[in-house]
Amino acid sequence: MGKKLKNTGLIGLGVVAGIAVSLQFSAMAQKPVEQPLPLEELRQLADVYGLIKSDYVEKVDDKKLLTEAISGMVASLDPHSAYLDKRAYAELREGSQGKFVGLGIEIGESEDGYIKIVAPIEDSPAWRAGIKPGDLISRLDNSPVKGMSLEDSIKKMRGEPHSKVSLTVLRKGEPEPLVFQLTREEIQQKSVKGKIVEPGYAWLRIAQFQDPTVDDLAAKITELYKQDPNLKGLVLDLRNDPGGVLQGAIGVAAAFLPKDAAIVSTNGQLSDSKQIFYGRPEYYAVHNESDALAKLPAAIKQIPLAVLVNSGSASASEIVAGALQDYKRAQIIGSQTFGKGSVQTIRQLTADTAVKLTTARYYTPNGRSIQAKGIVPDLAVDEYADGDGLNALRPREADLDKHLVNDRDQEGVRARHEEPEEQLRLVAQEKKRKPLEYGSGEDFQLQQALNHLKGLPVQMARPETRVVQAGAASAGHGGGK
Positions marked active-site? 315, 326, 340
* Backbone φ, ψ for residue 102 (5° rounding): -175, -150
Work out the angle between the directed axes of helices 213-227 and 246-256 (0-180°, nearest 10): 30
Distance separating alpha carbons of residues 304 and 451, to the nearest angstrom: 12
Angle at 267 between CA 20 and CA 314, to 5 degrees: 25
* Backbone φ, ψ for residue 373 (5° rounding): -130, -50
* Backbone φ, ψ for residue 51 (5° rounding): -60, -45
Distance separating alpha carbons of residues 96 and 350, to the nearest angstrom: 19
DSSP SS3 for 481: coil
Phi-psi region of 448 (alpha: psi -120 to 50; beta: other; left: phi over 0): alpha
Nearest by Cα to 404 from 355, 361, 346: 361
Distance separating alpha carbons of residues 267 and 291, to the nearest angstrom: 27
Distance separating alpha carbons of residues 157 and 134, to the nearest angstrom: 18
Distance separating alpha carbons of residues 7 and 309, to the nearest angstrom: 14
Q: How many CB atoms lie within 10 A of CB 140?
A: 19
Distance separating alpha carbons of residues 188 and 444, to the nearest angstrom: 29
Residue pair 242/208 in contact (Cβ under 8 Å)? The answer is: yes
Distance separating alpha carbons of residues 215 and 418, to the nearest angstrom: 42
